[in-house]
Amino acid sequence: MTDEPLIYTSRGNLPIASLQYAVRWEDAADYLKLVETYTLDGEVVRESAHVYTKRGLLAEPVAESF
C-alpha cells in the first residue's frame, strides 16, 4: 500500500497531488510577502501568507532649542 501525501485544507485532508499550487510575491517598501495558494477546481482550499518585515518604525524625539 502506498501512502498518498495529504494536506490540511478547508475541505479536510486532501491528496496534495489533486490540488493546484500557486505562489504570489508582493514586494513593498517596508515588507516582502509570499502568498501560497492551493486550489481545488478553482476554489481556494488553503492559503498561507508569510511576511518578511524589511524595516520597522522610526520615532524621532523632538528637542527644543533655547
Partner 1 sequence: MKQALARLCEPLYLALTRYLSASGLMLFANTQGVSGVAKQAALSAIVDGKTLKAALYLASATTGPTNTAYTATGEVSGTNYTAGGVSVTNGNTAGLTSTTAYWTPSATITYTNVTLSTAFDCVMIYSTTDTNRNIGTFTFGSQTVTAGNFSLTMPTNDATTGLVRFA
Binding site for partner 1 (CB under 8 A): 8-10, 26, 28, 30-31, 33, 35-36, 44-61, 63, 65
Give the residue with the Cβ less far from partner 1, 1 or 50.
Answer: 50
- The nearest distance, CB 3 to partner 1, in angstroms, is 21
| Closest C-alpha to 35, from 52, 55, 57 | 52
- The nearest distance, CB 18 to partner 1, in angstroms, is 15
Give the residue with the Cβ less far from partner 1, 2 or 65.
Answer: 65
Provide long-range contacts, Cβ within 8 A and 24+ apart, for 51-58. Answer: 54/29, 54/30, 55/30
The amino acid present at 45, given as its one-letter code, is V
